[in-house]
Amino acid sequence: MITLHHLTAGYGRQPVTCPLNGVFQPGSLTAIIGANGSGKSTLLKTVAGLQPPVSGEVRLARSERRQLAFLPQQADLDRQFPLLVDDLVAMGLLGSRGVFGRLTAHHRQQVAAALSQVGMTDFAREPIGKLSGGQFQRVLFARLLVQQAPLILLDEPFTGIDEATVRLLLEVIAAWHAEQRTVIAVLHDIEMVGACFPHTLLLHPQSNAWGNTAHVLGRHTDCSAMAAAGGIFTADAAAGTAL
């Protein structure tokens, strides 16, 4: 369980979000949406422990934080690093084998199975710098698959990739949800959110909506346009407690 207690996310002493109180329940599948600059990625990084909150806290057990998998935006990654596809996927196993632990036959089977699941078996020995954006995102999802983390955070996982890859990766996310993993994703596609994500956290500098997606989006039929225009949203629901 992830609890946000009077949490304000931002940089240094400069807040980006207004205070958040609520809970991401175990096994929940939640989209974080909002206008550009509303603090979506900043909040996700704060939940992941990659940057400190401006105020308040993220209540997450130390053991849970060690079992957290985080996928940053592709723009934050260096694809020119001389690394082969299967080696990148194998990095997801560091938690189980250690930094200096060798890859066993079982580990290699896990890597191969993950690459097969995302349709990248034929690219196992290719340098990551030769991959298209969609192919690279599939490989990053394969790395998440071998981590087998109970808590998965995704920062704009569908930006700049082809429709076939989007459909495949949505299937992977649906499988994680079916396995009762907790998944939180920063997204922009409101139609996708409504169709695929049961819970939604909508950020706004002055107020937020957090809860059942049908309830949040149903109260704001043109949610994306209203967020961009500066609309204010409030809601209560089981997945989280809105302000």
Average pLDDT, integer, range 213-225: 69
3-state secondary structure 76-125: HCCCCCCCEHHHHHHHHHHHHHCCCCCCCHHHHHHHHHHHHHCCCHHHCC
3-class DSSP state for residue 69?
strand
Position 127 pLDDT exceeds 70: yes
Position 191 pLDDT exceeds 70: yes
Name the band, by pLDDT with cuts 50, 70 and 90, for residue 131: very high
Domains in the chain: boundaries: 78-148
Both structure tokens of 82: 């001389």
Position 24 pLDDT exceeds 80: yes
Query: CB 35: neighbour CB atoms within 10 A?
Result: 20
The Cα–Cα gap between 215 and 208 comes to 13
Residue 161: left if φ>0, alpha if ψ -120 to 50, beta else—which one? beta
Q: Which of 119, 135, 117 is nearest to 74 (CA)?
A: 135
> Over the stretch 44-97, which tens digit does the pLDDT of each residue have?
999 999 999 999 999 987 767 778 999 998 766 777 788 999 999 999 998 665
